[in-house]
Structures are given as C-alpha cells and as structure tokens.
Structure 1
Amino acid sequence: MYTRAWSFKETNLVVKSGTEQAINAAVSAALEARRCIERFIVRHPEFRYSLEPLRLNAEGYPRIIGLMLRAALLADVGPFAAVAGAISQVATEAAISVGAKNVLVENGGDISIIGNQEFRVGIYAGKAKISGKIGFLVQGKELPIGICTSSGTVGHSVSFGDADAVVVIAREASIADAAATSVANAVEGTDVEASIKRGLDRADATPKIRGCLVMKEDYIGTSGKLPKLIQVSSEGELSTTSRKYRAYDTDLLSILEPQCVVRDRWQS
C-alpha cells in the first residue's frame, strides 16, 4: 500500500491505499471538506461552538455538513464533535470513488476504513497501563468501519470527562467520532469503575454504534461488539503484514491484573 501524510491547519491525515490516484482523491476531498466547513461557519458560527445538536435540516447542506449534523444529533453533542471523523469518512469515500479497493484514512487518531482486507489499528491512551500494547484486528467482513477516539487526558479536543481513551466503533466514522466524545464526557469522577460503567451506559444508549472500549488509569471496560483485540509489540507499524502479534478473544488478563478489568460488559 502507498502511504501519505498530509496536514492543513488542524487536519492531520495519514492515508493508505493501493494507488496514488486514490490517495490524491482522498487528500483533495479532505481539503474541500475543510473549506466547506470554514465557509459554513461564516454563515452559521454556532456550528463551530455549539455543544449541543443544531436543529438544521441536514439534507439541505453539503455532505460534510450533513454528516456532522446527523452524527451530533445521534450522539447528543455539538457538530464539531464529529469533524475529524467526518473528514476521514468523506476522504475514504473519495478514494473508493476513483477505483480504490482498500483505503484507510486517519485524521488525528480518528479512522475510516473501506475495503475487503484486514487492517490492524493500535490504541493509544496516554499513561494508561495498556496504552500502545493492544489494538484491533479488523477483518474485511467488518468493513466499512469507523474507529474513533476521545480522551480527557490526551490531546486538545474538548472533553468534560477524564477517560484516558474512549474508542467507539461504528459503520461511519462521523458517528463514531461524535459518540466517542459523548461517552468520554460521561467517564468522570474518582470512582474509576463507576465512571467507566457510566460511559458504557452512554454507549449502550447511543444508536448506530457497534461497540465501545473505555480506558481509565489501570482499568478497561467494553460494551457491544468490537473487532478482535490483539496484543502488539513496539516494533514497526501496526498496518504491516509482518507485525508479530498474539490474538485474544475477549480476555486481556494476561496483560492486566484481574482486578483491573471491568468484566461485566465483555462480549465475544
């Protein structure tokens, strides 16, 4: 696969696909999406700053705006909670439109994948005990997929919670991104297990998402159906086929101490 990194203002893409043409299409779509968002904000400043869904007709606006409005409504957050995932989504769609068979677009950690092959995606969660030690093995049958992360302790995104990482899985990256923000907002308080369960409750109540993983300090919890979890080492890139890994179904006890796993929501 070809890989290209591209940055413009707050947008930081990594695009992987089988052809340069597909990568060019993805980058062009991301740039146009940004410009469209900027033009829309001039006419609707509340689109940028609202922390609640806006009651605008998503059907009457460009696709990137419609995706963000719809995702915000589903997750009960502001439209900009979906911005990174929505840009990833339109970029992957653009690559597919010019003939790409497989494409991955990461935008600041928010990922959209379309195709039919397997991909490996790592999970970074700041100082959490298993940050960088686990990831997802995404099968071709699970695509298309959006994998998006929100954190109250890492990065500059707005979060009212204190999770080290909330990862949400959905068919569409725009929805996964907005939902990750919503769930992360619910993970707060000094009782770590209780805060994780609040986040999982929020995930269960959010439509259109497949699953959710929450990391906070030395604890982890999941809800719904996730791609296979894998243990990863520190060498090389997760996306390479030569990566050595050990697959797990839903049991991470060989990585974590038993008391560190919020087990009541695990599903195979």
Structure 2
Amino acid sequence: MAGRHLSTDRAYRDAVRPGSGEVRFQVAMEQTDLLIVAEQDLRDEIAAFVAGVRGEIKNWIMFHPDFAESLVPVDVPEDAPEVVRAMAHAGRACGVGPMAAVAGAVAQAVGEAFVGQSPNILVENGGDTFLCSTRERVVALLADPGSGASIGLRIEAGAFPVSVCASSSTIGHSLSLGTGDLVAVRARDARFADAAATALCNELRSEADMDRVLRRAKELAAQGLDGVFAQYDQKVAAWGDLELVALD
C-alpha cells in the first residue's frame, strides 16, 4: 500500500557498524537484498546458498501459486521443503499468508547455515533481521527514513539467536493492510517474527488501535513472541522483553 513516506532506500544501512574483527557485505539476488555482518567475507558462499533457498521457494510457488498469493494461512504437506513448511507454519500461527514470513525465512536460513563458520553473524533482509552473536547488540528501530532512527533495541549477550522483524505501511514495498508507521517484533524465530509483525501492523490503522495491537501481541506470546514495539505518528507503545535505548 502507498504510504506517507514509502521508500525502498537502504540508506539506514549506512549506520550499521561492524564490531572488532567483523566485516560487512551485501548479497543481492532478485528480490532478496541482504546486509550481512560476519567474522569473514562469505558473500560468494552465501550467494550460492541463497540461490538454493530461493529456488526451493520459487519451485514450490510454480506448482502451488496460492502459496504466493494467499493473504490467509495455507496448508502444505510434510514433504514440502523445510523453508516452505516453516513459512506456512509461521503464517498459520499469526493468521496471515506464508509469504509474510519470506524475508525472515531467508535471513534465518542464512544465519543458521553459516553460524558454524562465523559465530557472530547478523543478517538483515529489508528490515527483518536474524542475529547470532557472542556480544551485546543494538538493533535500530526505523519509523521514518527521513529523520533516521532515534530508538534502538538492546539485546544482551547470551540471548541469541534473536530475530527482530518489522512491518510498516509507510516504508518499503511489502504489503500492509494497516496504516501504521512501524511494528517491530522480537522473537527467537525470524519466520514467526516476520509473520507476527505483518499481522500486528495489519491491525494498526489509527492511534486508537495501539491497545488492540498490544493485546494481540500478548496472545501471540504463547507462540513465541517475546516483545513488540509499535508506532503510529507520534504515539508509541511497547510490550514484552524489550530494552529500548536512545541512539546517538
């Protein structure tokens, strides 16, 4: 949906600062655009891996077009590829279509596949991030690309893996049925966090919906939601395991 400041600009990535002994690099392939921070440059290996994951999803869609088109949960058989089953499961848990989990699914697949080579690996895929880390991290929460991020989510060492996934009606190209500036979800599973952020942002159509979003987030806690941050214009709300910090 068109928004008040719809943008696919990745300028927010300029603020990503690798830690000591880390490098940052980009892997882009068709609609997938990853920013990765890792202990070594793995772009060639990750590009080949992403091609395989994307191939599994695209092949499934070729024979099951409803998987890509549905805005409600769909069933998939047990012999479907693991990434397809994970996306379908996340969509069903949150009451949305499986493609609501695709960015988180790719980010998590990459992180899990390469954490053995790089115990510190952070994978951001269009605002959806899967993090494995041996140290504390801060994830910026961006509600307005024009002014940049002023709030971050601190994640303590020892809590990883952690996923922070966001949905917005005003930033990026993903479909949102709401009109909120931002809903960001913290969970361990990026597929679930991505789908949950979409579901909650769909509910956010005015400032008056903030309480409803938080109530729904609390219901999703049983499925694995650890925390939620929501913003509509100048009003913000948060619930759960979130340590919010001011960014420089």
TM-score (norm 1): 0.80
Q: How far has the Cα of 1:127 moved from its partner?
A: 6.8
1:230 equivalent in alignment to 2:248? no
- Structure 2, unmatched stretches of 5+, are 1-21
Residues 76-133 of structure 1 deviation map (CA, whole Å, 9 limit, x = unaligned): 1000000000000000011114x321100000110001132122211111279x8510
1:176 equivalent in alignment to 2:206? no
Q: Give the 4+ runs in structure 1 shifted more than 3 A.
A: 23-27
CA distance in structure 1 between the partners assigned to 2:215 and 2:51 by the alignment:
36
Residue 51 of structure 1: which of 62, 71, 79 is its match? Answer: 71
Q: How far has the Cα of 1:204 moved from its partner?
A: 1.3
Residue 212 of structure 2: which of 198, 204, 219 is its match? Answer: 198
* Greater mean alpha carbon deviation, residues 37-46 or residues 114-123: 114-123
CA distance in structure 1 between the partners assigned to 2:145 and 2:172 by the alignment:
12
Is the 8 Å Cα contact of residues 119 and 138 (structure 1) preserved in structure 2? Answer: yes
Is the 8 Å Cα contact of residues 148 and 173 (structure 1) preserved in structure 2? Answer: yes
CA RMSD of aligned residues (A): 1.6
Residues 50-77 of structure 1 deviation map (CA, whole Å, 9 limit, x = unaligned): 00111223x3221211210111011110
Match of 1:143 in 2: 160
CA distance in structure 1 between the partners assigned to 2:52 and 2:133 by the alignment:
23
Is the 8 Å Cα contact of residues 125 and 164 (structure 1) preserved in structure 2? Answer: yes
CA distance in structure 1 between the partners assigned to 2:108 and 2:59 by the alignment:
19
- AA partner of residue 46 (structure 1): D
Match of 2:175 in 1: 158
* Identity over aligned pairs, percent: 32
Greater RCO, 1 or 2 (C-alpha within 8 Å, sep 6+): 2
Match of 2:79 in 1: 60
Is the 8 Å Cα contact of residues 27 and 46 (structure 2) preserved in structure 1? Answer: no
* Greater mean alpha carbon deviation, residues 151-160 or residues 83-92: 151-160
Match of 1:29 in 2: 49
* Greater mean alpha carbon deviation, residues 200-209 or residues 78-87: 200-209
Is the 8 Å Cα contact of residues 118 and 140 (structure 1) preserved in structure 2? Answer: yes
Provide the aligned length of Structure 1 versus Structure 2.
Answer: 225
- AA partner of residue 200 (structure 1): L
CA distance in structure 2 between the partners assigned to 1:28 and 1:115 by the alignment:
23
Is the 8 Å Cα contact of residues 25 and 91 (structure 1) preserved in structure 2? Answer: no
Q: 1:24 to 1:139 in 2, by over 3 A?
A: farther
- Structure 1, unmatched stretches of 5+, are 234-268
Match of 1:18 in 2: 39
CA distance in structure 1 between the partners assigned to 2:148 and 2:168 by the alignment:
12
Q: How far has the Cα of 1:167 moved from its partner?
A: 0.1
Residue 62 of structure 2: which of 32, 42, 47 is its match? Answer: 42
1:77 equivalent in alignment to 2:92? no
CA distance in structure 2 between the partners assigned to 1:116 and 1:174 by the alignment:
22
Q: How far has the Cα of 1:35 moved from its partner?
A: 1.4
1:102 equivalent in alignment to 2:120? yes
Q: 1:168 to 1:95 in 2, by over 3 A?
A: same
- AA partner of residue 62 (structure 2): V
Q: How far has the Cα of 1:30 moved from its partner?
A: 2.1
Residue 144 of structure 2: which of 119, 126, 129 is its match? Answer: 126
Match of 1:242 in 2: none
